[in-house]
Amino acid sequence: MKIHSKLYIGGEWVDPLNPSIFEVVNPLTETVCATVAGGGEDDVARAVAAAREAFKEFSQSSVEDRRAMLERIAAGIKARADEFSEAISMEMGAPTWWSSRAQVPAGIAHYSTAAKVLESFEFQKIQGTTAIRREPIGVCGLITPWNWPLNQVACKVAPALATGCTIVLKPAEQTSLDSLLLAEVIHEAGVPPGVFNLVNGPGRVVGASIAEHPDVDMVSFTGSTMAGANVSKAAADTIKRVSLELGGKSANIVLPSADLKDAVGRAVQGIMSNVGQTCTAGTRLLVPSDKVAEATRIAVEVAESIPLATSWDAPAPAIGPIATKRQHAEIVRLISEGVKEGAKLETGGADRPDGVRSGYFIAPTIFSNVSNDMTIAREEIFGPVLSIIAYDTVDNAIEIANDSPYGLSGYVQGEHQEAVEVARKMRTGQVFVNAAHADFNAPFGGYKQSGNGREWGEIGFDEFLEYKSVLGSEIKN
């Protein structure tokens, strides 16, 4: 078992001032795989002070130096990719094939993308006799979730560093091991002391302290909508900027023109790949009424072909367990609620899968006969659960897709031009047309209760920048 007893503050590994110890549980074995030191209010204050002091010089650093720094961080993660993959597998139960092929590369990509953006990013432009400058906002509190741990940290840390901000990071306590490794990489990459600080601990203590602290200039939070609302309330008294990436209940519209087998198969594989623990998962599959029976048959066939990864070295496309015992219990509750409300459970379900002796496993689960007002169609389940919903016309499908408190992502499959037209009518922050892949240069974020602000790529820099107008700066005497 690994023991981590330090916090990373001011460029050093230090003992917590408000010490606590929390356990990291391997969801595959249901046993403790590591203990990690947590901090408290005084540790946050120390980290914020270090970040505030470091900001004086780092905010004036050259673009070239910051770009080189990001490239060194990306190279450092890549050089230790096996260690990061192992850590992610241990802390969230992802099989090695998934942690090494998806989780780790996604994290690296954000640092590489930020470095590339810096090659042409304009921090100042001239408008008549006025210089319009974009300057780093200051000390940034970054609070991240457990489902894509390295990725979610990277899409905040990378733009913060790129723009000249300093950082206090609080990762999810369930998945803190990869962030501890990241702190080592950042230290080895020569990031100046105080620019990056890591304070582990529970959200109700460390996260709240970050959000409330008057010397934190902005907070970037990813997590549940309820927790995001609490962060906003905690930050309100100091009028700091708050960027939120929250929940989702994304619709996947299968148009009448789509190849049903390909479209449904892609939909099922897509939500099962991270065991449904992805905020953009297309968990509402909208299918023409006359094709529901065939779509259900295909979905069940694909779902039942996906094996469970009862060992880390299980080959693709095996899926691992749910990351935490608490989340497993919530998925079980919602599956039971779906049955109670009259949805038809076609495969999977709340019971422990056959042959599984340990691990927080939920088998790939398909519901049919789902109406959009059911709990399983309204609430984010965050597990391998797909709800099939019938629609009568394409306009009806768009109406159902938009009838959600969320608006983070969406999917449309069918004839290309028609799919693009439907995508334009969906009230959501991004839409995947047919077999499109993620674009690390495209802005990521949501409408409605899925949050505010945007991450990823050039537009993601804006969350970490303030505008300053220097009037008359271009007048020649």
Q: What crossing angle do the helices spanning 394-402 and 416-424 adopt, rounded to 10°? A: 40
The residue annotated as part of the active site, out of 91, 173, 212, 245, is: 245
Contact assessment for residue 420 and residue 433, using Cβ atoms and an 8 Å cutoff: yes
Sheet arrangement for strand 7-9: 12-14, 7-9, 196-198, 166-170, 139-143, 218-222, 241-245, 451-452
Separation CA 427–CA 251 (nearest Å): 11
Residue 238: how many other CB atoms lie within 10 Å: 14
Contact assessment for residue 369 and residue 339, using Cβ atoms and an 8 Å cutoff: no
Contact assessment for residue 88 and residue 151, using Cβ atoms and an 8 Å cutoff: no
Which residues are within 8 A (CB) of 26 and not within 5 positions of it... i.e. 6 or more apart?
32, 33, 90, 91, 93
Contact assessment for residue 136 and residue 56, using Cβ atoms and an 8 Å cutoff: no
Separation CA 237–CA 408 (nearest Å): 28
Separation CA 144–CA 134 (nearest Å): 25
Q: Which long-range contacts (CB under 8 A, 24 or more apart) does 260-264 make?
A: 260/291, 260/294, 260/295, 260/298, 261/298, 262/413, 263/413, 263/414, 264/295, 264/298, 264/299, 264/302
Q: Active site includes 245?
A: yes
Contact assessment for residue 256 and residue 393, using Cβ atoms and an 8 Å cutoff: no
Which residues are within 8 A (CB) of 60 and not within 5 positions of it... i.e. 6 or more apart?
164
Residues serving a catalytic function are 245
